[in-house]
């Protein structure tokens, strides 16, 4: 039986445009699907630390949007290339999970703070 996983592309794109935190949640679902769910919490906490360190301590650009997108892209590369190959490299055949439901939930949760941030500027 093939596992039902979120694809590498889905995790990468959602990490870039939403946040590595969201990509790590999808990654944790994948880990649970293959029986390695105990590692999921490490990825979620690690992604939160990644965001704090990269957004607060590493200055890549003076533009906040560019800073955000670059740090997200770096997080997506680490998550979808390095860790994907380490944990899911042997799973060449799997069923793709539809990411629409978790994306809508995430966007729904984050929409109010995003609107507040955008209105303050």
List, for residues 38-69, the tens digit of each pLDDT value: 999 999 999 999 888 887 777 777 787 888 88
Residues of the domain holding 37: 4-120
Contact 84, 94 (CB under 8 A): no
Domain count, the chain: 1
Contact 20, 75 (CB under 8 A): yes
- What would the pLDDT profile of 59-117 be if each residue is shown by its tens digit? 777 787 888 888 899 999 999 889 999 999 888 889 999 999 988 988 888 888 888 88
Q: 95 - beta bridge partners?
A: 4
Contact 94, 4 (CB under 8 A): yes
């Amino acid at each position: 039986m093939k596992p039902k996983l979120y694809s590498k592309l889905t995790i990468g794109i959602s990490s870039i445009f939403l946040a590595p935190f969201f990509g790590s949640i999808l990654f944790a679902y994948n880990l649970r699907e293959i029986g390695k769910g105990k590692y999921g919490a490490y990825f979620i906490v690690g992604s939160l630390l990644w965001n704090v360190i990269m957004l607060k301590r590493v200055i890549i650009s003076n533009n906040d949007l560019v800073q955000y997108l670059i740090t997200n892209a770096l997080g997506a590369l680490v998550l979808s290339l390095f860790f994907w190959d380490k944990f899911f490299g042997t799973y060449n055949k799997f069923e793709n999970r539809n990411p629409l439901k978790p994306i809508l939930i995430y966007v729904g949760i984050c929409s109010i703070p995003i609107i507040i941030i955008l209105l303050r500027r």
